[in-house]
Protein backbone atom coordinates (compact mmCIF):
# COMPACT_ATOMS: atom_id res chain seq x y z
CA UNK A 1 0.00 0.00 0.00
CA UNK A 2 1.37 3.39 -0.89
CA UNK A 3 1.45 6.01 1.81
CA UNK A 4 -1.33 8.58 1.96
CA UNK A 5 -1.03 12.11 0.61
CA UNK A 6 -2.49 15.10 2.39
CA UNK A 7 -3.95 18.51 1.72
CA UNK A 8 -3.98 20.80 4.75
CA UNK A 9 -6.12 23.88 5.21
CA UNK A 10 -4.43 27.19 6.02
CA UNK A 11 -4.92 26.66 9.78
CA UNK A 12 -2.68 23.59 9.71
CA UNK A 13 0.60 24.97 8.36
CA UNK A 14 2.58 23.55 11.30
CA UNK A 15 1.12 20.09 10.83
CA UNK A 16 1.86 20.26 7.08
CA UNK A 17 5.49 21.07 7.80
CA UNK A 18 5.93 18.05 10.07
CA UNK A 19 4.15 15.71 7.68
CA UNK A 20 6.57 16.86 4.98
CA UNK A 21 9.57 16.39 7.26
CA UNK A 22 8.36 12.82 7.85
CA UNK A 23 8.23 12.32 4.08
CA UNK A 24 4.51 12.60 3.40
CA UNK A 25 3.36 14.38 0.25
CA UNK A 26 1.43 17.29 1.78
CA UNK A 27 0.08 20.35 0.03
CA UNK A 28 -0.98 23.56 1.72
CA UNK A 29 -2.97 25.48 -0.88
CA UNK A 30 -2.79 29.21 -0.23
CA UNK A 31 -5.92 31.32 0.01
CA UNK A 32 -8.47 28.96 -1.41
CA UNK A 33 -12.12 28.70 -0.66
CA UNK A 34 -13.49 25.62 1.11
CA UNK A 35 -14.93 24.48 -2.16
CA UNK A 36 -11.60 24.78 -3.98
CA UNK A 37 -9.73 22.98 -1.17
CA UNK A 38 -12.24 20.18 -1.33
CA UNK A 39 -11.89 19.92 -5.11
CA UNK A 40 -8.08 19.94 -5.02
CA UNK A 41 -8.01 17.23 -2.36
CA UNK A 42 -10.49 15.11 -4.27
CA UNK A 43 -8.83 15.53 -7.68
CA UNK A 44 -5.39 14.68 -6.28
CA UNK A 45 -6.72 11.87 -4.07
CA UNK A 46 -5.43 13.49 -0.93
CA UNK A 47 -6.75 13.28 2.59
CA UNK A 48 -8.12 16.70 3.43
CA UNK A 49 -7.00 17.77 6.91
CA UNK A 50 -8.95 20.68 8.31
CA UNK A 51 -9.91 22.34 11.58
CA UNK A 52 -13.14 23.53 10.02
CA UNK A 53 -16.00 21.27 11.14
CA UNK A 54 -18.39 22.64 8.55
CA UNK A 55 -15.95 21.88 5.75
CA UNK A 56 -15.19 18.44 7.17
CA UNK A 57 -18.88 17.63 7.37
CA UNK A 58 -19.46 17.89 3.64
CA UNK A 59 -16.04 17.20 2.14
CA UNK A 60 -16.55 13.51 1.42
CA UNK A 61 -14.98 10.35 2.78
CA UNK A 62 -11.31 11.31 2.74
CA UNK A 63 -11.38 14.10 5.27
CA UNK A 64 -10.18 14.37 8.86
CA UNK A 65 -11.40 17.11 11.14
CA UNK A 66 -8.44 17.93 13.37
CA UNK A 67 -9.37 18.89 16.94
CA UNK A 68 -6.07 19.74 18.61
CA UNK A 69 -4.32 23.06 18.43
CA UNK A 70 -0.83 21.73 19.17
CA UNK A 71 1.15 20.07 16.39
CA UNK A 72 2.28 16.93 18.31
CA UNK A 73 -1.35 16.12 19.17
CA UNK A 74 -2.41 16.89 15.61
CA UNK A 75 0.15 14.38 14.31
CA UNK A 76 -1.18 11.91 16.87
CA UNK A 77 -4.75 12.40 15.60
CA UNK A 78 -3.72 11.75 12.00
CA UNK A 79 -1.64 8.68 12.95
CA UNK A 80 -4.36 7.14 15.11
CA UNK A 81 -7.24 7.75 12.76
CA UNK A 82 -5.43 6.56 9.64
CA UNK A 83 -3.37 3.92 11.46
CA UNK A 84 -0.43 5.69 9.97
CA UNK A 85 3.12 4.78 10.74
CA UNK A 86 5.95 6.87 9.38
CA UNK A 87 9.02 5.24 7.86
CA UNK A 88 12.26 6.70 9.24
CA UNK A 89 13.89 5.93 5.87
CA UNK A 90 11.62 8.59 4.39
CA UNK A 91 12.39 11.29 6.91
CA UNK A 92 13.93 14.34 5.23
CA UNK A 93 12.94 13.34 1.70
CA UNK A 94 10.66 16.34 1.12
CA UNK A 95 11.08 20.07 1.39
CA UNK A 96 9.37 21.38 4.52
CA UNK A 97 8.78 24.73 2.77
CA UNK A 98 7.19 23.69 -0.51
CA UNK A 99 6.66 19.90 -0.46
CA UNK A 100 9.12 19.37 -3.36
CA UNK A 101 11.20 16.20 -3.47
CA UNK A 102 14.77 16.43 -2.24
CA UNK A 103 17.48 15.20 -4.58
CA UNK A 104 21.09 14.50 -3.58
CA UNK A 105 23.40 17.38 -4.34
CA UNK A 106 27.13 16.88 -4.82
CA UNK A 107 29.56 18.74 -2.61
CA UNK A 108 31.00 20.60 -5.60
CA UNK A 109 27.57 21.70 -6.72
CA UNK A 110 26.70 22.89 -3.24
CA UNK A 111 29.61 25.36 -3.15
CA UNK A 112 28.34 28.88 -3.49
CA UNK A 113 24.85 27.82 -2.42
CA UNK A 114 25.75 27.30 1.23
CA UNK A 115 27.84 29.26 3.75
CA UNK A 116 31.58 28.69 3.16
CA UNK A 117 32.09 26.90 6.50
CA UNK A 118 29.35 24.43 5.64
CA UNK A 119 30.76 23.95 2.15
CA UNK A 120 34.10 22.81 3.55
CA UNK A 121 32.86 20.73 6.49
CA UNK A 122 29.74 19.00 5.21
CA UNK A 123 29.66 16.46 2.40
CA UNK A 124 26.04 15.35 2.47
CA UNK A 125 23.70 17.81 0.73
CA UNK A 126 20.30 17.67 -0.86
CA UNK A 127 18.36 20.17 -2.89
CA UNK A 128 14.65 20.74 -3.33
CA UNK A 129 13.47 20.06 -6.87
CA UNK A 130 10.70 22.57 -6.30
CA UNK A 131 12.12 25.73 -4.74
CA UNK A 132 15.87 25.02 -4.89
CA UNK A 133 16.42 25.18 -1.15
CA UNK A 134 19.64 23.36 -0.15
CA UNK A 135 19.60 21.15 2.95
CA UNK A 136 22.33 19.47 4.94
CA UNK A 137 22.48 17.70 8.29
CA UNK A 138 23.12 20.69 10.54
CA UNK A 139 23.14 21.13 14.27
CA UNK A 140 19.35 21.08 14.52
CA UNK A 141 19.01 17.95 12.38
CA UNK A 142 19.29 15.55 15.31
CA UNK A 143 16.68 17.44 17.28
CA UNK A 144 14.24 17.40 14.38
CA UNK A 145 14.79 13.67 13.90
CA UNK A 146 14.19 13.08 17.61
CA UNK A 147 10.93 15.00 17.39
CA UNK A 148 9.86 13.08 14.29
CA UNK A 149 10.44 9.81 16.14
CA UNK A 150 8.55 11.16 19.14
CA UNK A 151 5.59 12.45 17.08
CA UNK A 152 5.26 9.64 14.56
CA UNK A 153 6.70 6.50 16.11
CA UNK A 154 6.24 6.66 19.86
CA UNK A 155 2.52 6.60 19.85
CA UNK A 156 0.99 4.76 22.78
CA UNK A 157 -2.31 3.02 22.16
ZN1 LIG B 1 11.19 23.41 -1.68
Tell me the per-residue pLDDT of 75-132, one tens digit each, with 9 for 90 and over: 999 999 999 989 999 999 999 999 999 999 999 999 999 999 999 999 999 999 999 9
Strand order in the sheet with 125-128: 102-105, 125-128, 134-135
pTM of the predicted structure, to 2 decimals: 0.92
The pLDDT of 51-64, averaged and rounded, is 90
Residue 94 lies in a domain: no
| Through-space distance between the first and last CA atoms of the chain, rounded to whole angstroms | 22
Residue 67 lies in a domain: yes
The count of structural domains within the chain is: 1
Residue-level pLDDT at 85: 86
- CA of 73 from ligand 1 middle (Å) equals 25
Separation between Cα atoms, residue 120 and residue 100, nearest integer Å? 26
Q: Which domain holds residue 75?
A: 6-87
- CA of 97 from ligand 1 middle (Å) equals 5
Neighbours of ion ligand 1 (CB under 5 A): 95, 97-98, 100, 128, 130-131, 133
- CA of 37 from ligand 1 middle (Å) equals 21
Residues 53, 54, 59, 63, Cα dihedral to 10°: 0
Residue 123 lies in a domain: no
Residue-level pLDDT at 155: 57
pLDDT interval class at 156 (50, 70, 90): very low
Residue 12 lies in a domain: yes
Residue 131 lies in a domain: no
Amino acid sequence: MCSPCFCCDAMLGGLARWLRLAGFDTTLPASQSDRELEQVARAERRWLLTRDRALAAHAGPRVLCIQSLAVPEQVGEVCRRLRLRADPARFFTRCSRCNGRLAPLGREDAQGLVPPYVGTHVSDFSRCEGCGQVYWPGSHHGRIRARLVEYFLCESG
